[in-house]
Amino acid sequence: MAARLHFLSQDAELLARIRGGDEEALVTLYALSRKPVVAMVVRNNGTTTDADDILQDALIVLWERVRSGRYEHTAKLETFIYATAQNMWRRKLARLRKERPTDLADDSLIAGDPSALDLLIESEEAALISNALNRLGEPCRTLLLLFYWEEASMDEIAHRMGFSNAETAKSKKYQCKKALQAILKNLEPIHD
């Protein structure tokens, strides 16, 4: 019981840190989750490098969900991370056309199904847009990141970026999207 309370308390603290934008919380979770994730990946035709890569991706999914308010704390954070990493590795194996290991269960009940957006992120088109975004100057790059990645509201964006109000931020966002489209039109497909 005491151990259970300890984990709940630890999870609550880590979630609060993530909501507050503390990226060091991910480092803590990385240390806590690495061993089982490495074991899972290595057991299923992967390497420790693959495991580290997948674990970082899973931590970022957690970060996005918590920050956007879409995370539901139904299991221990470590369990969520493991399940997310497992699903990611399963999809990666499928992409590589390797045989799907029988013991690699689908933990979408815990980790949740990837959204259409999640699936598109790995696409070449997304890589092209990412490349264009990196060529976009400030404050457009930050503004679009705040809006699409951190899913901040226009009020929050206006506050964080020093715009007078949400309408000004909205207007700026429209200009930034136009500027990005202009870059995309002249951009050759380059992988980031």
Partner 1 sequence: MTEYSTQHPALDPEQVEQYVLGRLTPTEQQAFDTHLQLCAQCRRTVDAELLLAAGVRRTGRNALKKRLAASVEERPAVPWPRIVAVAAAIVIIAGLGIIRLWINREQATPPLPMENPPSVTEHRTGKEEIQDKLSGSGQPSPQEPKGTKADRTSIPSREEAKKSKEQFAAPKDEALNVDDARRALAKNEVQAPAPAAGATVVGSAAGLWTEGTLFEAEPSPKTAERPIAAEVKRGDLETAHEKRVLKAVSQVQGILLHQQPSRALTQHQRSQQTAGRQTILTYAEQVGEQIRLTLYPDTLFAPGDLERAAVSQPADDSLLIRVGHQSIGYRLPQGFLQQQTRK
134 binds partner 1 (CB under 8 A): yes
Vertex 160: Cα angle to 66 and 134 (nearest 5): 80
Quick one: DSSP state of residue 16?
H
3 binds partner 1 (CB under 8 A): no
177 binds partner 1 (CB under 8 A): yes
Q: What is the C-alpha to C-alpha distance for residues 56 and 29, in angstroms, rounded to an integer? A: 10
Size of the site for partner 1 (CB under 8 A): 45
Radius of gyration over every alpha carbon of the chain, rounded to an integer in angstroms = 19
Give the closest residue to 112 by CA, choosing from 148, 152, 65, 56. Answer: 65
Smallest distance, partner 1 to C-beta of residue 99, A: 28
Tally the residues of the chain: 192
Give the closest residue to 92 by CA, choosing from 138, 116, 58. Answer: 58
133 binds partner 1 (CB under 8 A): yes
Residues between 10 and 69 with contacts to partner 1, criterion CB under 8 A = 23-24, 26-28, 30-32, 34, 52, 56-57, 59-60, 63-64
Chain centroid to CA 150: how far? 10
Residue 99 or 124: the one with the smaller Cβ distance to partner 1 is: 124
- Site for partner 1, rule CB under 8 A: 23-24, 26-28, 30-32, 34, 52, 56-57, 59-60, 63-64, 70, 115-117, 120-123, 125-130, 132-134, 141, 144-145, 147-151, 174, 177, 180, 192
